[in-house]
C-alpha cells in the first residue's frame, strides 16, 4: 500500500475520532499518525495494519478490504 493510500485511510479513521471543529489532518498529526508533511508515521502504519488484520469486528469501525 502506498504512503498516499495509508495517509488517506488514517484520515478516514481520524474523522471518526476528531472533534467536529477540528481538522482531521491536525488531529492525525496530534495523535502521531501523520508527520508534519502528511506522511504516515510508524504509529500510523501500525494503526492501519491493526485495522486491516482484525479477524472479528467488535468495534464501531473496521477497514473495508
DSSP-derived secondary structure letter, 34: B
pLDDT band at 2 (very low <50, low <70, confident <90, very high): very high
Determine the Cα–Cα distance for residues 48 and 40; give it in Å rounded to an integer.
10
Q: Look at residues 36, 56, 34, 55 and name the one whose alpha carbon lies nearest to residue 46.
A: 34
Q: What is the pTM of this model?
A: 0.79
- Residue-wise pLDDT tens digits, 5-56: 999 999 999 999 888 888 999 999 999 999 999 999 999 999 999 988 876 5
11: its cell numbers: 484520515
Q: What is the dihedral of CA 46, 19, 9, 28, to 10 degrees?
A: -50
Amino acid at each position: 500500500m502506498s504512503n498516499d493510500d495509508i495517509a488517506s485511510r488514517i484520515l478516514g479513521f481520524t474523522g471518526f475520532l476528531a472533534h467536529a471543529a477540528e481538522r482531521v489532518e491536525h488531529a492525525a498529526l496530534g495523535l502521531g499518525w501523520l508527520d508534519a508533511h502528511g506522511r504516515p508515521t510508524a504509529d500510523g502504519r501500525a494503526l492501519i495494519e491493526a485495522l486491516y488484520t482484525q479477524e472479528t469486528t467488535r468495534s464501531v469501525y473496521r477497514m473495508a478490504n
